[in-house]
Structure 1
Amino acid sequence: MKRILFLCTGNSARSQLAEAAMRHLAGNGVEVCSAGMRPEGVDPRVYEALAEQGIDSSGLESLSVQDLADQHFDTVITLCDKASDECALFADSDALLHWDFKDPKPLPGLKPFRDTLDALIARISLFLMLNGTESTSAMGPVELFKVMSDPLRLKILMIIEDEQWVTVSDLVESLGVSQPKVSRHLALLRDSGVLETRREGQWIFYRYTENLPVWVRHVFTTVRNGNPGIINQEKLQLSQLQQRKVPDNRSVKV
């Protein structure tokens, strides 16, 4: 079972909200704790904000980071700058993250706690989406951005992001480059683990590999949506192709 620790100064607001929200969203597959350098007790508004969202707040307590210093956590997430130095107490953790959230305690009323909880839920949901599935892929950020650094390869990836399946001839026609050049880039993308192929008769189709890590897919989708005009001309060229070949259910990996 994965163990996650949230740290902030007083362990009274941000880290308490994060602990309850993570436990609520992650379910039984994750053990969640929180602590602070100078525990101040749980602010009553924490319970109100959590209750409004239907999130269980039972078991929340304000702990000192020293109480947990001898324990191992897979991920340690600090929620304020003052707590970031405390990561040194958990040097054996697999991941040390910093999410900078403004302390809602000095602000009046319940709204600052509601806003903080909403922002934490969004960040935790993204974290769980990107880290919730184990992958055997050896691809890391350096390898990914090296693959994406070539303009032609980037366009190939964006076309596949839209089309899901493409053939070499699709790419040759839409990109306006030679078949050997397209094939070289496709071979590199396949060797890197980004693409896989399926054969149907004489046709070979390329798509994203099935075991591509979720965070990599998220990067591709973000790049595509953040740059909507990046393959306009290529899309127009594809739309003009006559009798374009598409895969059917008989496809097999090659």
Structure 2
Amino acid sequence: MMKKNILFLCTGNSARSQLAEALMRHMAGEHYLVMSAGTKPEGVDPRVYQVLAEQGVCADNLQSLSASDVHDQHFDIVITLCDKASNECALFADSDALIHWDFKDPKPVAGVDSFRETFEGLRDRIALFLMLNGEAQDSVVGPVELFKIMSDPLRLRILMLIEDEQALSVGDLTKVLDVSQPKVSRHLALLRDGGVLQDQREGLWIFYRLADHLPVWIRHTLSTVRNGNPGMINQEKLKLTQITDRKKPGFSLKANNQVGV
């Protein structure tokens, strides 16, 4: 995998962006070349070194740079960490991705606790970023296509049931959704042809499950919708338990259990 250049940008390049630079290097390994800069650099706050040392994160080569000094470099991703820096994105207009994470400046607060809180917030945000961007994004399903698919109530319930159960047959879906088998089949075919689901035959039964090569960001989206709306498919789940002759798949579903690993 080719390394990507990433720049963290804030006003002073003295606290938030320095913590983010060190953390990204620590957590991403060799997958990213990481830098940070500021619109009005002030020098690295000593509390940055203290917190990084507490967490066992290397602080080597941290320095305060001006955004104007690096504006002629190409960065694949520019992440701004304050509103003022966000207004300077025009300096990096050729970047592939411009992202804004708004973090409160920890410097005005006395002591180190505010820096520890910023460190923890950045660690969580970077962990999510790496999880969702740790693979080649070659899927034909983009955000617009995904949300169009999910905008249909029946397709959304199908996806939530399969996300929850991991694999379901056409017959089981027909029984719990109270719609005709041809209608369920049409929606399943659309989801399969769109690259979200795949089917697998087992004897006389055909099961549908999330596609093996579904990008992590889509799996994460589906999981978030399901867990954020736990009562969405209560009635369907209850009906599944009442199917006495329900056929369970015998194939491995390990490929569908990647979110949160």
Provide the TM-score with structure 1 as the length reference.
Answer: 0.96
Aligned to 2:125: 123
Pairing of 1:52-67 with structure 2 (within 5 A): 52-67=54-69
Which of 177, 186, 189 is the equivalent residue of 2:188?
A: 186
Q: Distance in 2 between matches of 1:57 and 1:200?
A: 54
Q: Distance in 2 between matches of 1:203 and 1:77?
A: 48
- Given that 1:6 and 1:33 are in contact with CA atoms closer than 8 Å, whether structure 2 keeps it comes out as yes
Which of 37, 44, 47 is the equivalent residue of 1:45?
A: 47
Task: List per-residue Cα deviations over 1:174-210 (Å, max 9, x = no partner).
Answer: 1111101101111111111100011122211100001
Query: Displacement, 1:24?
Result: 0.6
Letter in 2 for 1:34: S
Provide the TM-score with structure 2 as the length reference.
Answer: 0.94
Q: Distance in 2 between matches of 1:132 and 1:185?
A: 30
Q: Structure 2 unaligned runs (5+)?
A: 254-261
Q: Structure 1 unaligned runs (5+)?
A: none
Query: Displacement, 1:250?
Result: 9.2
Q: Which moved more, 1:167-176 or 1:128-137?
A: 128-137
Query: Displacement, 1:138?
Result: 1.7
Q: Which moved more, 1:239-248 or 1:179-188?
A: 239-248
Pairing of 1:2-41 with structure 2 (within 5 A): 2-41=4-43
- Given that 1:135 and 1:211 are in contact with CA atoms closer than 8 Å, whether structure 2 keeps it comes out as no
Aligned to 2:105: 103
Q: Distance in 2 between matches of 1:163 and 1:85?
A: 45
Moved over 6 A (4+): none
**Superposed CA RMSD:** 1.2
Query: Displacement, 1:164?
Result: 0.6
Q: Distance in 1 between matches of 2:104 and 2:112?
A: 14
Query: Displacement, 1:243?
Result: 2.4
Change beyond 3 A, Cα 1:250–1:134: closer
The alignment partner of 1:211 has SS state of coil
Aligned to 1:143: 145
Letter in 2 for 1:169: G
Aligned to 2:220: 218
